[in-house]
Structure 1
Amino acid sequence: MKPDRFGAIVLTLWLACAPAAGAAAEAPADRKALDAIFDEVFARYRLPGLALGVVEDGRVVYSRTAGELVEGEGAKIDSRTLFKVASNTKSMTTATLARLVDAGKLRWDDPVTKWIPDFRMHDAWVGQQMQVRDLLIHNSGLRAGAGDLMLWPEPNAFTRADIIHGLGYLKPYRSFRSGYDYDNLMYIVAGEVAAAAGGAPYEALVRREVFEPLGMSRCQVGQWNRVEVGNVAQPHRREGDRNVPVRSDGDIVPTTTMDPAGGVRCSLDDMLRWTANWLKPQPRNVAWLSQEQRQALWAPQMPMPVSKRMREWDRSHFSAYGYGWRLADVDGVFKVAHTGTLMGMYSAVTMLPDKGAGFVILINGEGDEARTVLTQVLVKRYTAGDPALSVAHYASLIDREDAARPATEKAPDTTRRRRATAKELAPSLGVYRDPWFGEATLCRDGDNVRFRARKSPLLDGVVQRVGDRWLIDWDDPSVDAEAWLDVDASGMRLAKVDPQADFSYDYEDLAFERVGGCP
């Protein structure tokens, strides 16, 4: 597929850029204003840690960090601290693939089955027709987040082979290539395609093709030793007025199934080098990726909805997904960006190529609103230049949106609950099986009833009675999306209690059938 006219505009921007010194020494900037923005966001949202960097014309003009690796333990975050960049990994995966395309080892329009013969989808025709490019642009027809319970919560026992096999059982939400629905599993498949074409495991490829040539020396993926590497931020969740560590790393950080979709960790310094490479690469990096492939990565591939917020806040007219990047216009200025979200970790990379500017945000706590507000204020400094578009301004807009949200979009009150008894659920107890998720048990636990997923040990909780419904209260507080439980003669089904919960808790895609009695 040839890049369209918009991609050609991006190429023109690249050709106009002279070689730059890269993301090294900090240059003068309006530090006082940026410090005020940083301080207000850090304090307003009570973050455990925050790292922010700004690149202009290929140079780092602002870099600042605050907070601790683990709140209360004293070790300070700095520009070399490793954070989970989560879905900002996706652009590194697509860059790896683009390098293989440059090398003649792969084509964007190769059938996926050329590299993974066992690959199939629920509709056999879709599996045969799916190309490498389709793996990257969220057009599979699956529901947003479909099958993500094979990735999260971690740790779990699902492998990449399980994911490739499981895709054949996930029923489509819409027809292939007809619309945008965010998908993580296809990036796992893309990582396996890269491994097959590149002759090395995904983790080795991304180190070889991205980290090493771009000098991203602190970035980690695959198995590594946290103690030896050192200076690693840990995720946190809010508990009252405190930030509490959650899912903390052991001494050895293992390779995970989800690495190609969201498994990379990098420092602020690394991510600023990454950002500068796209805006104005150093001379030694100009040849790292051809202009043709740089253009392809930033060419609109799949239309995305323009939300009410985008129209009202940014006067946006278009939104699209490229290869691992979101593309949009803000006040008439082209924006290339992506975010990353994992339990207790938030990241954002935002670039305004027309302005030669880019920003990196890394947070090791519950930072959804903080990331949104900080990104918005930074972008508007370049596109609008209006000091009224401040942290307080955007924070108040979000508060108003939350207040106006209809009751149907809010979590119901489930505080009046009690533990279900084994007697109440006696006819439904047993072993159940879903074709892609595997076995789960609904069995007696003393006088109570417990749900356990065999391959996902954190999905373990006691069944509660709430009015006339059943609810699963997960034991691990890091599993932050409770599930409604419906069970009858046709099988067992789950659904999110909070309709706004992360779509990766894709309970709605499960279809358990009873296969036996409790052990």
Structure 2
Amino acid sequence: MKREFRFGRACCAGLLALLPLFAHAAPRTDRAAVDAAFDEVMRRYRLPGLALGVVEDGRVVYTRTAGERVEGEGARIDAQTLFKVASNTKSMTTATLARLVDAGKLRWDDPVAKWLPQFRMYDPWVGENMQVRDLLIHDSGLRAGAGDLMLWPEPNAFTRADIIHGLAYLKPQRSFRSGYDYDNLMYILAGEVAAAAGGAPYETLVRREVFEPLGMTRCQVGQWSRTEVGNVAQPHMRQGGRNVPVRSDGDVVPASTMDPAGGVRCSLDDMLRWVTAWLTSQGGTAQWLSQTQREALWAPQMPMPISRRMREWDSSHFSAYGYGWRLADVDGVFKVSHTGTLMGMYSAVTMLPDKGVGFVLMINGEGEDARTVLNQALVKLYTRPGAGLDAAHYAALLEKEDAATPASEKAPDTSARRAATARELSSRLGVYRDPWFGEVRLCPEGEGVRLVSAKSPMLDGRVQKVGKRWLVDWNDPSVDAEAWLDFDAGGADLAMSKVDPQADFSYDYEDLAFKRTGTCP
């Protein structure tokens, strides 16, 4: 794949400033404590692979990797192994926009419609008044994860044009700018705004404005050759007590519609350069982005709820979203962070700027709890050193939380299910259409019934009956959120919802409103 390079004085200065990154530095952290936390999460959560690095005072003072790119195949993870950083891409997208603002090509308060004239929202007034900054801070009024079924599961046939079109049909759950609800689709628009203002596709811009000037030489976005790049971790899920690779890459990794929201892959060394660039206030990397824009990206833009866990674990009094970053206080210390989650891949970037500290962790398996535990233990090494708040302590707290979760918030028992028959659903069979998601077919297959999406082929499953309700059991085990099917009395309308209320919000079945448009072919 041909890559574009733009080397100038600022670029070269940035690279020279990063040359000493991997030189020896006397760390302030307790290496034994970091090793113990690393070992604990690897053992407790049986991860296929883990990469961890720590930056202090502008230098990398700790790196460690363990496990395999694909469990059982023997290829070891190292500091050059590529992981999906998922939503940690968002801060790279906002940095790309900030570079355009620095260059005078864009303003944060520009109307989105100035750059994307075809843009509409369900409420026309919102579409007319939404600014570029609103795309970045989760204040659209849409339900958390609204429209994410146009992004995941991958692969699917939705384009960025489909997403811009579909936004006009997604009904808000609250008024514009009245509260925080995490939104991926707006970052797709942000990437398109960057492309329009920057005069190049998003993927070209993020390489030009972020990867190249900061020396993040292994990072990939857009289409690239897995064979040529090499050393790529694959996602895993737990099945039968072992880690099984899922959604593995082919020889060519295609460009993705969701790239601006979560499509970047980087190595541990790349991500440590990224963190160092943010923690460096002088020298070449500081010149990469103006102080004005650094402050804008880390300024509180949208208040976020402070959870019970944040209050009890961190004594937090403040939580907000900046431009692509989460901001909070932990034990009186300012924290800038984000996480990234895709099927079988988990990442976290955390910085304590006032202490000159940052760390990165990346996992290529089911690692939600492992990420929480390891990240929390690392933070406490700096905010409450010597307190003994280690990984085992936070793992125990998570287990206690889970045990206390009310039954109403857990997945119901559906083990008494049986396959639905075409006769039972005869009055409800047919082709249905949702204005943003498109068509699904609910049609006989043998004696059973199959539901399949026209544009999202992984949403393909068999209908089951559980008591008086219907659910769809997806054929691919990596599509791990079953859906209830709810029909109106006449059978002309179909709604869906998550069987497990704790399932990832990106399975936004609740935003679908199907109407029957025809009979089964």
- Match of 2:175? 175
- Match of 2:23? 25
Give the superposed CA RMSD. 1.0
In the alignment, residue 193 of structure 1 is paired with which amino acid? Answer: V
CA–CA distance in 1 between the matches of 2:83 and 2:20? 21
Contact 1:87 1:261 in 2 (8 A): yes
Map 1:466-485 to 2 at 5 A. Answer: 466-485=466-485
In the TM superposition, residue 26 of structure 1 has moved relative to its aligned partner by 4.5
In the TM superposition, residue 64 of structure 1 has moved relative to its aligned partner by 0.4
In the alignment, residue 31 of structure 1 is paired with which amino acid? Answer: R
- Match of 2:499? 497
Summarize the Cα distance change of 1:26–1:227 in structure 2 as closer, same or farther, 3 Å threshold.
Answer: farther
- Match of 1:128? 128
In the TM superposition, residue 24 of structure 1 has moved relative to its aligned partner by 2.4
Contact 1:22 1:277 in 2 (8 A): no
- Match of 2:433? 433
In the alignment, residue 511 of structure 2 is paired with which amino acid? Answer: D
Contact 1:492 1:511 in 2 (8 A): yes
Bigger shift: residues 242-251 or 387-396:
387-396
CA–CA distance in 2 between the matches of 1:337 and 1:349? 5
Find the residue that maps to 2:25 and give its secondary structure.
Answer: coil
Contact 1:54 1:359 in 2 (8 A): yes
Find the residue that maps to 2:52 and give its secondary structure.
Answer: strand
- Match of 2:9? none
In the TM superposition, residue 20 of structure 1 has moved relative to its aligned partner by 7.8
- Match of 1:138? 138
CA–CA distance in 2 between the matches of 1:25 and 1:281? 19
- Match of 2:375? 375
Deviation per CA, 1:419-440, whole angstroms, max 9, x where unpaired? 0000000000000000000000
Bigger shift: residues 25-34 or 254-263:
25-34
- Match of 2:231? 231
Find the residue that maps to 2:336 and give its secondary structure.
Answer: strand
In the TM superposition, residue 281 of structure 1 has moved relative to its aligned partner by 5.5
- Match of 1:508? 510
Runs of 5+ unmatched residues, structure 2: 1-16
In the TM superposition, residue 28 of structure 1 has moved relative to its aligned partner by 3.6
Q: How many residues are paired up? A: 501
Deviation per CA, 1:392-447, whole angstroms, max 9, x where unpaired? 11001000000000011000011111000000000000000000000000000010
CA–CA distance in 1 between the matches of 2:39 and 2:145? 34
- Match of 2:190? 190
- Match of 2:4? none
CA–CA distance in 2 between the matches of 1:233 and 1:338? 21
CA–CA distance in 2 between the matches of 1:23 and 1:272? 9
- With normalisation by structure 1, the TM-score equals 0.95
In the TM superposition, residue 516 of structure 1 has moved relative to its aligned partner by 0.4
CA–CA distance in 1 between the matches of 2:288 and 2:350? 21
Percentage of identical aligned residues: 78
Find the residue that maps to 1:32 and give its secondary structure.
Answer: helix
Contact 2:21 2:60 in 1 (8 A): yes
In the TM superposition, residue 148 of structure 1 has moved relative to its aligned partner by 0.1
- Match of 2:13? none
In the TM superposition, residue 282 of structure 1 has moved relative to its aligned partner by 6.6
In the TM superposition, residue 486 of structure 1 has moved relative to its aligned partner by 1.1
Find the residue that maps to 1:428 and give its secondary structure.
Answer: coil
Find the residue that maps to 2:37 and give its secondary structure.
Answer: helix
- Match of 2:416? 416
In the alignment, residue 24 of structure 1 is paired with which amino acid? Answer: F
CA–CA distance in 2 between the matches of 1:295 and 1:64? 31
Bigger shift: residues 160-169 or 31-40:
31-40
- With normalisation by structure 2, the TM-score equals 0.95
- Match of 2:273? 273
Runs of 5+ unmatched residues, structure 1: 1-18
- Match of 1:85? 85
Deviation per CA, 1:18-44, whole angstroms, max 9, x where unpaired? x88653235343322221211111111
CA–CA distance in 2 between the matches of 1:284 and 1:358? 19
CA–CA distance in 2 between the matches of 1:391 and 1:451? 43
CA–CA distance in 1 between the matches of 2:220 and 2:463? 39
- Match of 1:262? 262
In the TM superposition, residue 484 of structure 1 has moved relative to its aligned partner by 0.4
In the TM superposition, residue 284 of structure 1 has moved relative to its aligned partner by 2.1
